[in-house]
Amino acid sequence: MNDGLGARTGAALPFLPVYQPDLSGNERQYLLDAFDSTWISSRGSFLERFEAAFAGVVGTPHVTAVCNGTVALHLALHALDLRPGDEVIVPSFTYIASVNTIVQAGGVPIFAEVAADDWLLDPEAMRAAITPRTRAVMPVHLYGAVCDMDRIAALAHHHGLAVVEDCAEALGSSWNGRHVGGWSDVATFSFFGNKTVTTGEGGMVIARDAAMLRRLQIAKGQGMDPERRYWHVAMGFNYRMTNLAAAIGLGQIERLDAILAAKRAIAARYRDNLAGHPFEFQARKPEVANSEWLVSLLLPRGADREAVMHRLAAARIETRPVFYCAHHMPHHARPDLRLPVSEDIAARGISLPSYPTLNMAEVDRVCEALVAAAAGA
Ligand SMILES: Cc1ncc(COP(=O)(O)O)c(C=O)c1O
């Protein structure tokens, strides 16, 4: 599609993707060190160093690395020993892995509404969704924002529910100084290539105590007794991270503060530039230090999102729609269910280039193109 905007903004301008990792620290050297050591599978010093560095960031020693954020969620839910019919409350407005893994672990996802201001699990909707079959709740900290964990954790505690925070998108985010994951029985992170810290593919699971950590470690390694080779004491999987991935992760996490500072400056610039224009950002809560993983906003009601995204693409700027609601997916379809807030956000949201090496002139370029694209849609 060419509506003239591409020509006006110059097709020769550099392409701005939604994300690209910044691997400019020790990542390459550590990766080569791991390679040269021949410890290329799931043992090696980089795994220990990466887990230790991660533990320092989240403030608990009970961490174990896995091979992606989806198996992290499955491992976490597996450790809850769900019985058939056990219900897990989850927002429908989330990445699909949050929901698929509940089913994979034998549970029943119960879709709850999100709040209109921060797009995250609404504690009142959670309260309304609790039944005698509810076993757990999965708050999902989307785009670096943090769910109202004071209210969610209090409700979960009152009703005897397990908490599994999906922190895939929120490394570096905290609520009243407590890092995300800190309210959970088990919590999970992702290190996919577009995440704040990447290992290529990778994930982390954190546990509330040493006993839960041991269960996770055994289950991620085929259920094998750590003291007796080929003796399998529990159901298990191969969900281990490689030493190669951990080497990249160590190089990344060493620079976490710089990465977060860059992302926060980018997000602040987007908000400043677009103030006064008819876009809605996720609300900022005073309790939250937001990692600003991916800057996302809602287009005005009635705007043609596809047309806006096409115009931006013509200006060599990549954007993405936010997630579609899980209850609209064929395998989780609930034609009877209406979640107006989730459905509205899913229909109007887009994510903008947010990678840490994006410079301020490039943020300005995205903003100008977005304003022009939305005005024409
Ligand atoms: C909210 C959420 N949960 C889970 C995942 C799954 O992580 P991964 O892609 O590492 O499997 C993602 C990531 O993409 C995510 O955004």
Q: Do the bridges between strand 203-207 and strand 349-351 make them parallel or antiparallel, or are there none, so unpaired?
A: unpaired
pLDDT of residue 181: 98
Q: Which of 192, 197, 205 has the most ligand 1 atoms within 8 A of CB, as the residue to mutate? A: 192
pLDDT of residue 3: 38
Q: How far apart are alpha carbons 90 and 169 in whole angstroms? A: 16
Alpha helix ranges (H) inside the chain:
5-9, 27-37, 45-58, 69-78, 96-104, 123-129, 149-159, 210-220, 243-253, 256-274, 305-314, 340-348, 360-375
Is 285 one of the catalytic residues?
no
Cβ–ligand 1 distance for 170 under 6 Å, the answer no
Looking from the CA of residue 71, the nearest atom of ligand 1 is 11
How far is ligand 1, taken at its centre, from the CA of residue 128, in Å?
27
Looking from the CA of residue 142, the nearest atom of ligand 1 is 1
Cβ–ligand 1 distance for 239 under 6 Å, the answer no
How far is ligand 1, taken at its centre, from the CA of residue 164, in Å?
14
How far is ligand 1, taken at its centre, from the CA of residue 66, in Å?
13
Cβ–ligand 1 distance for 140 under 6 Å, the answer yes
| Residue type at position 41 | S
**Dihedral (C-alpha) 289, 291, 292, 298: value to the nearest 10 degrees?**
-60
Cβ–ligand 1 distance for 95 under 6 Å, the answer yes
Query: In sequence order, what are the residues at sequence separation of 6 or more whose Cβ sits closer than 8 angstroms to the Cβ of residue 159?
Result: 130, 134
224 forms beta bridges with 232
Looking from the CA of residue 191, the nearest atom of ligand 1 is 10
Query: In sequence order, what are the residues at sequence separation of 6 or more whose Cβ sits closer than 8 angstroms to the Cβ of residue 188?
Result: 69, 72, 73, 75, 76, 164, 165, 166, 167, 168, 181, 203, 204, 205, 206
How far is ligand 1, taken at its centre, from the CA of residue 2, in Å?
34
How far is ligand 1, taken at its centre, from the CA of residue 148, in Å?
20
Cβ–ligand 1 distance for 165 under 6 Å, the answer no
Half-sphere exposure of residue 114, counting CA atoms within 13 Å on the CB side?
29
Cβ–ligand 1 distance for 148 under 6 Å, the answer no
What's the CA angle centered on 72, arms 239 and 344, to 5 degrees? 145
Looking from the CA of residue 97, the nearest atom of ligand 1 is 4
Looking from the CA of residue 70, the nearest atom of ligand 1 is 11
How far is ligand 1, taken at its centre, from the CA of residue 1, in Å?
31
Query: Which residues, given as ranges, of the chain have pLDDT below 50?
Result: 1-10
Residue from 309, 329, 305 nearest 318 by CA: 309
Cβ–ligand 1 distance for 167 under 6 Å, the answer no
Cβ–ligand 1 distance for 290 under 6 Å, the answer no
Q: How far apart are alpha carbons 122 and 178 in whole angstroms? A: 20
Catalytic residue among 195, 220, 263, 285: 195
Q: How far apart are alpha carbons 56 and 368 in whole angstroms? A: 40
- Is the distance from CB of 312 to CB of 2 less than 8 angstroms? no
| pLDDT tens readout for residues 59-111 | 999 999 999 999 999 999 999 999 999 999 999 999 999 999 999 999 999 99
Cβ–ligand 1 distance for 101 under 6 Å, the answer no
pLDDT of residue 376: 83
Residue positions counted in the chain: 377
pLDDT of residue 173: 98
